[in-house]
Structure 1
């Protein structure tokens, strides 16, 4: 079936990133299967993560169907685009419909993108992972593909204004080897292993990242354990 919306949106995003002269570094894209279903799993630090996560699949000529909260589909601008790109709306009060939709997509050979933290992490460290991605992979008989990104929070994240004026911001993407999800294994154990892989990839992305804070006012996007001024995970929990 022709992708009348997805491919033009990808083209527009690439044009914007070129205009911003973003320094995008992708490694491990070959770990995304060229054919067949897979669950692409990433942590979540920015409103733009789904775009960059999707870009990591382009070298393999794959398009990713992301699971996203249903309010995005009700927006007058983003809604038609999300539906046109065949992404999957998630009503958190009634998640079974989204689960069945994602399962059908996987069984038909699609790649489904999942952010198992469910929301952006203001500390820019990993939150706990929900087990839905592992359960989907188990039931569909497909692998989980872990990935991590770094730098996207500098463009647009929770509690900060969009920053599409500053150019040359680096964005680092790391895709790991697939994690198998045997049907006879406990989903919680698979989820823990998956989170460990994402953590390893995140640390690799941070080590490779060429950008550094420009001054004392530009440390907000660095987690506290790396010397930045982002709130710690404990501080985030206390504030909610």
Structure 2
């Protein structure tokens, strides 16, 4: 209920008028039935503008930290992410990650759209990084198409440290659905999962025009954090 209230009445109209987002390829998103929307991830506002240009609801995977942070800020995050129907995902692996997979599969079985950022975190520098194979496993197990979605210009709108995005026109570009039915029954094969994931990332690279880096974004972020600690920076 809060999702539609924000999208149709409160936040959505304001974003449309003030930022005037543009969209291409919306016809590639089915008007009904399940599909995975796999997007590049540049900044926080990606999760606002991607669903804004669609008539259908998009349920996102969101990192579990958003649901467990303490304090007043943490309460607002928990309220927002839970009340708008997002699914917590624990990226540490094991049973917690498996639970997130099952929740995502339930959304797809119910015929809904599921939004995923295969990079697993926001890009540290605007480039496109190696995708994690969760998107491939979900697509094969749920037998649904993957629609690549490129966010355009959001990194410039909201660079690191900026709370309110600049007044610029962001874009959302939807690619043709990717059909992986040829791999049916092979969802446990790690080579197949990597191949499917790389195909999704290649489509994102073509749509977004980003430079591709065959390294996980989280690895790069961890390296940068370690270098800052070595220099005595916070």
TM-score clears 0.5: yes
The 5-angstrom pairing of residues 64-143 of structure 1 reads: 64-74=58-68, 75-93=74-92, 94-143=96-145
Q: What are structure 1's unaligned runs of at least 5 residues?
A: 207-222, 224-233
User: What is the match of residue 3 of structure 2?
Assistant: 6
Q: State the Cα distance separating 1:80 from its structure 2 match.
A: 1.8
Measured against aligned partners, the alpha-carbon deviations of 1:119-173 in whole angstroms (never above 9, x if no partner) come to 111211101000101110110111001010112123334x322234x43x02011
CA distance in 2, matches of 1:18, 1:30: 19
Cα 1:82–1:36 change in 2 (3 A) is same
- Give distance in 2, aligned partners of 1:116 and 1:49: 13
Q: Residues 238, 70 of structure 1: CA spacing in aligned structure 2 closer, same or farther, 3 A cutoff?
A: closer
Say if 2:24 is the partner of 1:27.
Answer: yes
CA RMSD of aligned residues (A): 2.2
Q: For residues 207 and 174 of structure 2, what CA distance do their matches in structure 1 show?
A: 7
Distance in 2 of aligned mates of 1:111 and 1:52: 15
Q: TM-score, normalised by structure 1?
A: 0.77
Runs of 5+ in structure 2 lacking a partner?
A: 69-73, 187-191, 212-218, 226-234
Q: After the TM superposition, which parts of structure 1 deviate over 4 Å for at least 4 consecutive aligned residues?
A: 234-238
Structure ranking higher in helix proportion:
2
Residue 47 in structure 1 maps to residue 78 in structure 2? no
Structure 1 residue 29: Cα displacement? 0.8
Q: How many residues align?
A: 203
Q: 2:157 aligned with 1:163, yes or no? A: no
